[in-house]
Amino acid sequence: LFAGFIETMSELVRILSLTFRLFGNMTAGELLILVMIFLIPWVAAVPFYGLELFLGFVQALIFGGLTLVFLVIAVTPREERV
């Protein structure tokens, strides 16, 4: 019973860690754009929009890849993973 609880918590913590990581990275990007718009003219902040778009693409790839790995680990029997 206790081992099942620990295993369930392990799976939930993986999902939460991915969620917080994605949220933190996206929030940091938005804050960077807001600071740049405040400090410098709007036109000079345009490259940061491109950077944010690129970083969003990279984050989506990482999030999708890690989700796929975690799903494969979750559905593959323990004997086949060794």
Q: How far is it, in rounded angstroms, from Cα 19 to Cα 63? A: 9
Q: In the annotation, is 25 catalytic?
A: yes
Active-site choice (10, 21, 78, 81): 21
Active-site choice (10, 17, 78, 81): 17
Query: CB of 44 within 8 A of CB of 14?
Result: no
Active-site choice (10, 25, 78, 81): 25
Q: In the annotation, is 17 catalytic?
A: yes
Q: In the annotation, is 14 catalytic?
A: no
Q: How far is it, in rounded angstroms, from Cα 77 to Cα 82? A: 10
Residues with a catalytic annotation lie at: 17, 21, 25
